Structure 1
Amino acid sequence: MTTASGLPAIRESVQWAVLDVPGGSSALVDLAEAAVEHYALNYSKHPPAVLLDEVRATRNLLSTVVAEAAPVTARGLRQQVGWLSALLGNLAYHLDDRSGARAHLTLAGAIGESTREAALTAWSSGALAMVATARHDWQHARNHAEYGLQHAPAGLRRAQLLGWALLPTLAALGHAERADDVVSESDEIMRAAVELPGRFGYDAAEHRLHVAEAHLTLERYDRAADVARTSITAAPEHTPGWVAATLVLALAEARDAPDQAAGRALDILDLIPPSRLRATARTRLTRLEHALGTSAIGPGADLTARLRALPAPIRPDGTAA
């Protein structure tokens, strides 16, 4: 567990370690790795804007040491800078800053290549596929996904790249048979894999979320709803993953049970403060609004009103809402 004060304390510990040995040390590499682990494991416990500030500050502290460090130490620090850059990319994406996300993730992937950190290269490629998918750039999304799969270690990492990166692209392109093959392969891996927690991990709840969304894209609404329910059951209540699965279920219900779908969305808006509502959730809410229609008396009327009143994640002056 972590607290609001515990978050900046991690960055302060890194700062003290840099002051203690300005040229870097193996202990600083270990501390940097622990900081990355802390941010990844507690990713969902903090508003994205708050966590982004802390991760950025920690990355900057490490960057002051790399040039003066011994080669082995410098390589270890660069790897952790790569993982921090990957976190920054994901945080930017969740704040609806897609160009920023692309920049950070491209750096993370480049550092993964130069330091031969295959897991970082694979994960960054998967995240770049996610960003490309969000802008409907299907060819780049598929290229990133396939590149990530070339570098992904066997087991859970491969399942992650299949379900998170490749499957959404195949579904969007209407390649239903190939998408089903990917679901079968990744399901088989997940049955034998040991799940990993945190932002860089992968578990059954997240995997079922991506499968449900693929079925939704392919207009298999009943299957999407069934799989989304399994994701909701597996995810801790009120977490971003739980929110995402609940909204996918609402989208699957929108055609045949619009009042129920709208109710689920309104419950999310009642439960989750705007600062903790990721851009991905906002996108699903907007999709649901369109699916329900914008009639002043229809089931989506209250949702439309609530979404119009929702503050943007980043204000026009660049500060977080």
Structure 2
Amino acid sequence: MPPISRRRRAELARAAARIRIEGQRSGRSVEAVAAEITRLLPEMHPLQGWRLAYGWTRRQLADAVSEALRARGQADPGLSEARICRWEHNGVTPSSDYTAALADVFAISPVCLGVAGQDWYGRPHPREQGVPMANHAPLKAVTDSIALQMEVEGPAGGSQTREHVHRALDYYATHYGNHPPTVMGAEVHRCRSLVVGMLARPQTDRDRTELRTLAGWLSALLGDFAFSASDYPGAHIHLGTGARLGTDGGDMHLAGWSVGAQSMVTAFQGRDTDALELAAQASELASGALQQAQIAAWCELRPLARMGLEREARDAARRAQLRMDAAEEDRANRWGFDAAEMHQHLGEAHLTLGDPAAARQHAETARGLKRIGSGGWAAATAILARTAAAEHDANGACSLANSILDTVPPPSLRETTRRRLHALHGDLAVDSRPGPIVRSLADHLHSLPAHAPIQQSSPEPNGS
């Protein structure tokens, strides 16, 4: 990076301060603010971007690094503001001790801070080494409340226990993106084990039907989390259980959603013909205009566009939009479908069909409708990055991709976004002489740790 004048440095610092203030007003996390600074101000060194996202002076950062060194049991040689300035502006790389301390201070990989040598790629993310990513206690308390209610009503449960399970489902749906998929999946498994235990006890026909339906929704949700955690076989098993229990219990919304999700998983496996067959089954099961819109956009657009069936893909997009406009259901209800998702799928279809201008418009709309750092934001940003690559803007594509990797911790990075980022790398690899920013992105993607398997604690319910 060429030297930056003092005047330009001051302008960049003021711009970063405005981004931080706006982010604070909007309730964004520091991580999201830092990602926005590095995206909008590519001239700024990532370390400086993160420092300014916290609103720290160099003196404050020096004090924090010194404290981190002491916590590691290392002597503090006395970090000066001038040395930090050289890291941020003169291309000087910190020593290994300072690099590790900076990672501790910001709780992110040194690679994301722009201060790591090649030996740092592939090391665990600091947040995976003991720094909590989120408070999971409220999530676990939801299932604990069901177990406590069973202590009152007995191992077969009762009306209040079943009501607790309904509320748990709503909680899991509304807090879908607040925890890594493996954490959510493990907790849903625990909840489903309680429902399976109740099904093993004598029940009235009415109560058994309700419990089977609850087990079906929990299975469908487990399938979604398994897919997000890159477990394709587990996703198909759980979604198949959800579809069967939905059909047996007469809950067509559950059945349609489960088969539709199976179609999406199948499409991501590259089995487009099978995905379309499942999409047709899901469309027949769909209940209401909103779910019909979801099936058309969610299940049909990707395989049709990838098969080069432009007329059929555009028809699916038209049907999805018409049904979306006609929907009267609450789009915020359990596993609903919203405008952001619609634009996301439309953008990806246009990109596949060779229309990057239309793809960009839809991806930018979807991205603007989602909270920075959320799964939907990451998906839309990845599509936008692939659009930039299609427009031969490698730097813009890599900047967008890095904003995802710098904002979303690896355990929370869903399979769909991972696949899109790797597809982006393929898009950029067509250049026989990729630049350093492309090579850096490739290293970043290569260093991503695989998802940990979801801890299973419930058998697959048969509903008998």
Question: TM-score interval w.r.t. the shorter chain?
Answer: over 0.9
Task: Say if 1:184 and 1:296 are closer, same or farther in 2 by CA, change over 3 A.
Answer: closer
Shift of 1:4: 2.0
Matched residue type, 2:425: E
Q: 1:225 — aligned with what? A: 360
Q: 2:227 — aligned with what? A: 93
Please say which structure displays the higher CA radius of gyration.
2
Distance 1:275 1:124 in 2: 24
Distance 2:452 2:161 in 1: 33
Please tell me whether residue 43 in structure 1 is matched to residue 176 in structure 2: yes
Q: 2:421 — aligned with what? A: 285
**Cα RMSD between the aligned structures?**
1.9
Deviations 1:206-226 (A, max 9, x none): 111011111112122111111
Distance 2:423 2:150 in 1: 47
Asked if 2 retains the 8 angstrom alpha-carbon contact of 1:43 and 1:198, the reply is: no
Distance 1:215 1:144 in 2: 22
Match among 190, 202, 207 for residue 324 of structure 2: 190
Asked if 1 retains the 8 angstrom alpha-carbon contact of 2:170 and 2:334, the reply is: no
Is the partner of 1:219 in helix, strand or coil? coil
Is the partner of 2:177 in helix, strand or coil? helix
Task: Say if 1:175 and 1:224 are closer, same or farther in 2 by CA, change over 3 A.
Answer: same
Is there any run of 5+ residues in structure 2 with no aligned partner, and where?
1-133, 457-464
Task: Say if 1:234 and 1:78 are closer, same or farther in 2 by CA, change over 3 A.
Answer: same
Write the mapping of 1:62-211 to structure 2, written as runs, cut at 5 A.
62-67=195-200, 68-193=202-327, 194-197=329-332, 200-211=335-346
Shift of 1:28: 2.1
Distance 1:31 1:228 in 2: 38
Q: 2:20 — aligned with what? A: none
Deviations 1:96-155 (A, max 9, x none): 000110010001100011101000000001100011101111222111111111011121
Distance 2:448 2:270 in 1: 25
Write the mapping of 1:235-314 to structure 2, written as runs, cut at 5 A.
235-255=370-390, 256-293=392-429, 295=433, 297-314=435-452
Is the partner of 1:145 in helix, strand or coil? helix
Matched residue type, 1:178: E
Normalised TM-score (structure 1): 0.94
Which stretch shows the higher mean deviation, 305-314 or 96-105? 305-314
Match among 151, 163, 181 for residue 30 of structure 1: 163
Asked if 2 retains the 8 angstrom alpha-carbon contact of 1:243 and 1:281, the reply is: yes
Which stretch shows the higher mean deviation, 13-22 or 268-277? 13-22
Distance 2:324 2:369 in 1: 14
Distance 2:373 2:407 in 1: 8
Deviations 1:138-175 (A, max 9, x none): 22211111111101112111111111012222112211
Distance 2:417 2:455 in 1: 20
Task: Say if 1:45 and 1:198 are closer, same or farther in 2 by CA, change over 3 A.
Answer: farther
Q: How many residues are aligned here?
A: 317
Matched residue type, 2:359: A
Taking CA–CA contacts closer than 8 Å with sequence separation of 6 or more, which of the two structures ends up with the larger relative contact order? Answer: 2
Is the partner of 1:212 in helix, strand or coil? helix
Higher helix share: 1
Shift of 1:319: 7.6
Matched residue type, 1:51: M
Which stretch shows the higher mean deviation, 172-181 or 84-93? 172-181
Shift of 1:199: 6.3
Distance 1:112 1:244 in 2: 29
Q: 1:13 — aligned with what? A: 145
Normalised TM-score (structure 2): 0.66
Matched residue type, 1:134: F
- Between the aligned residues of both structures, percent identity stands at 32
Shift of 1:188: 2.0
Asked if 1 retains the 8 angstrom alpha-carbon contact of 2:229 and 2:452, the reply is: yes
Which stretch shows the higher mean deviation, 247-256 or 288-297? 288-297
Shift of 1:250: 0.7
Matched residue type, 1:18: M
Shift of 1:66: 1.3
Is there any run of 5+ residues in structure 1 with no aligned partner, and where?
none
Matched residue type, 1:145: A
Distance 2:237 2:402 in 1: 34
Asked if 2 retains the 8 angstrom alpha-carbon contact of 1:195 and 1:204, the reply is: no
Task: Say if 1:130 and 1:157 are closer, same or farther in 2 by CA, change over 3 A.
Answer: same
Is the partner of 1:124 in helix, strand or coil? helix
